[in-house]
């Protein structure tokens, strides 16, 4: 049961406590109940009480570490309630029954780029063992997968083979996705503190019972496989697991989940991409696909970044000079705000025009054009300051600057602050830029 009401007040009758940084212990207890402060900050509580209360006040979903990656720790079902905590991870899939497994491993690094300060790449590699294949072939594939430099998911249910595979990948972050109703005790003995144990079962009821048994053995470093019997069942299980943990406060299901779209839609890359987007929102913590290419990655990673970014903190691009369409020192300059959506829309339309443009992005607080102007973040002074601090005049020979049409009011002041520059008011809407630039370039 989670901590309720005023029960925590019984722990310490002391008032006006100076040790814990709170005016009174009641105020401290309220902060603990709200999750604003850790219970171990109180010096007057016994270690036993701290241990018990730390577990009770922890998020309903456990936080699981896979190397440098964090999974779980979620407290809400929907992002509008509160920011999601841990972004989902994407994994490529290989098995020892594939004739092109080596080539698939070699292509795992094909997608690797940066978007708004975040690296977008395939974080994990799922190495599956087909029952009809010999163990030596699987171990050979595991060795090759380790060389990819990715964190690994070992899909193997034979405890003996799993032990040999784990020995091969020592030092590599691993999820051992192989525990089920029949082998959970043997697999549990293999899962040390730094190895996350994946649990699957024939039904969600059996999954619940297996997790209970593993917890009784002292293992709470788990990830739950939603299954691959059908897309409908996998989605239902993912939702039921998350709702049980967050709404019903049932900590048996308080673990992140793994979804194998490669098993749900084998050989159908388009369906896998659709399922990956579905489970990014509801509620895969690790999503497995056959392979990732840019056609899938660009929308999928964009969706993930939107979902797992604090909605109270706008996404911003790094201020600087962005040469588009091969712009050199003679290309005209244009400026807009650092709000990521504005940047991608404007830069996309400029690229469509084919006209070389040096796009100047100054720090506008992550606001849209009119909001930044109204807040004083986008002004003639801020633009002139950016040009001066970044030595634009020594880097770019052009003295033409295009400004957004919605802040045409800045034209006169900019001409005063930037003598020698020609200030041109661009269209109000980005979609009008293609025609405008082509006509402007003559």
Beta strands in 132-255, from DSSP E residues, in sequence order: 151-155, 174-179, 195-199, 222-225
In a domain, 344, yes or no: yes
User: What are residue 84's phi and psi, to 5 degrees?
Assistant: -65, 150
Higher pLDDT, 309 or 255: 255
Give yes or no: residues 280 and 158 share one domain: yes
Tokens representing 330 are: 């003679």
Alpha-carbon gap, residue 410 to 235, rounded angstroms: 52
pLDDT, tens digit, 9 for 90 and up, residues 317-333: 999 999 999 999 999 99
For tokens 């060795």, the residue is 143
Query: At 358, which CATH number?
Result: 3.40.50.11600
Q: What is the CATH number of the domain that holds 198?
A: 3.20.20.20
Do 38 and 178 fall within a single domain? no
Q: Which domain holds residue 99?
A: 63-307
Mean pLDDT (the chain) is: 91
The C-alpha atoms of residue 105 and residue 345 are separated, in whole angstroms, by 35
Whether the pLDDT of residue 92 is over 90: the answer is yes
Is 314 domain-assigned? no
| Whether residue 48 is found in the same domain as residue 93 | no
Interatomic CA distance for residues 88 and 195, integer angstroms: 18
Q: Which pLDDT band, with edges at 50, 70 and 90, does 22 fall under?
A: low
Q: C-alpha angle with apex 429: 424 to 431, nearest 5 degrees?
A: 110
Is residue 313, in this structure, part of any structural domain at all?
A: no
Same domain, 196 and 328: no
Q: Mark whether 149 and 271 lie in a shared domain.
A: yes
pTM, rounded to two decimals = 0.81
pLDDT value at residue 79? 86
Is the pLDDT assigned to residue 269 strictly greater than 50? Answer: yes
Query: Do 183 and 292 belong to one domain?
Result: yes
* Cα separation, 413 vs 399, whole angstroms: 16
> What is the rounded average pLDDT of the residues 295-323?
92
Going by pLDDT thresholds of 50, 70 and 90, the confidence category of residue 20 is low
The answer to whether the beta carbons of residues 240 and 252 sit under 8 Å apart is no
The answer to whether residue 101 is domain-embedded is yes
The total domain count for the chain is 3
If asked whether residues 95 and 200 sit together in one domain, one would say: yes
Burial 167-177 (b: 16+ CB within 10 A, else e): eebeebbbbbb
pLDDT tens digits, residue range 271-294? 999 999 999 999 999 999 999 999
List CB contacts of 377: < 8 A, sequence separation 6 or more: 337, 363, 364, 365, 367
Backbone φ and ψ of 43, nearest 5°: -80, -5
CATH number of 21's domain: 1.10.15.40
User: CB under 8 Å to 201, separation ≥6 — which residues?
Assistant: 180, 181, 207, 209, 210, 227
Judged on CB neighbours under 10 Å (0-12, 13-18, 19+), 329 is: exposed
The reply to whether 290 and 333 lie within a common domain is no
Same-domain check for residues 40 and 91: no
Regarding whether 50 and 69 lie in a shared domain, the answer is no
The reply to whether 78 and 33 lie within a common domain is no
Nearest residue to 42 (alpha-carbon basis) of 3, 5, 8: 8
Whether residue 12 has pLDDT greater than 70: no
Alpha helix segments (H runs only) across 41-199: 47-57, 101-106, 135-146, 159-168, 184-190
- Domain contains 195: yes
**Any domain includes 166:** yes
Residue matched to tokens 């964090």: 70
């Amino acid at each position: 049961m989670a901590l309720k009401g005023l029960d925590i007040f019984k722990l310490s009758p002391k008032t006006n406590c100076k040790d814990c940084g709170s005016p009174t212990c009641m105020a401290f207890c309220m902060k603990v109940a709200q999750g604003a402060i850790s219970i171990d900050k109180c010096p007057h509580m016994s270690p036993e009480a701290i241990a018990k209360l730390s577990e009770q006040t922890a998020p309903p979903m456990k936080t699981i570490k896979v190397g440098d990656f964090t999974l779980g720790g979620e407290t809400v079902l929907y992002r509008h309630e509160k920011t999601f905590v841990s972004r989902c991870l994407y994994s490529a899939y290989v098995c020892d029954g594939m004739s092109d497994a080596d080539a698939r491993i070699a292509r795992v690094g094909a997608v690797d780029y940066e978007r708004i300060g975040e690296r977008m790449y395939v974080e994990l590699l799922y190495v599956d063992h087909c029952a009809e294949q010999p163990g030596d072939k699987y171990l050979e594939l595991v060795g090759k997968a380790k060389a990819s430099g990715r964190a690994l998911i070992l899909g193997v249910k034979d405890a003996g083979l799993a032990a040999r595979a784990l020995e091969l990948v020592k030092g590599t972050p691993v999820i051992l996705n192989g525990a089920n109703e029949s082998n959970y005790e043997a697999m549990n003995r293999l899962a040390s503190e730094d190895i996350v144990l994946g649990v699957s079962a024939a039904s969600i009821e059996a999954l619940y019972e297996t997790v209970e048994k593993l917890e009784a053995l002292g293992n709470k470093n788990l990830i739950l496989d939603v299954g691959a019997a059908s897309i409908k069942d996998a989605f239902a299980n993912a939702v039921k697991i998350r709702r049980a943990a967050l709404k019903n406060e049932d900590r048996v299901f308080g673990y992140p989940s793994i979804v194998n779209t490669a098993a749900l839609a084998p050989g159908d890359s388009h369906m896998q991409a659709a399922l990956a987007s579905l489970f990014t929102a509801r509620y895969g913590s690790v999503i497995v696909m056959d392979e990732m290419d840019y056609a899938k990655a660009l929308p999928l990673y964009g969706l993930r970044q939107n979902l797992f970014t604090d909605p109270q903190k706008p996404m911003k691009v790094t201020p600087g000079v962005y040469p588009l369409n091969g712009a050199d020192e003679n290309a005209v300059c244009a400026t807009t705000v650092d709000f990521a959506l504005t940047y991608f829309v404007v830069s996309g339309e400029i690229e469509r025009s084919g006209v070389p443009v040096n796009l100047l992005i100054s720090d506008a607080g992550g606001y849209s054009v009119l909001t930044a102007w109204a807040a004083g973040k986008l002004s003639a002074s801020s633009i002139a300051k950016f040009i001066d601090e970044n030595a634009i005049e020594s880097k770019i020979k052009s003295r033409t600057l295009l400004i957004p049409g919605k802040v045409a009011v800045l034209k006169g002041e900019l001409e005063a602050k930037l003598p020698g520059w020609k200030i041109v008011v661009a269209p109000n809407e980005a979609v009008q830029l293609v025609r405008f630039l082509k006509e402007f370039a003559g």
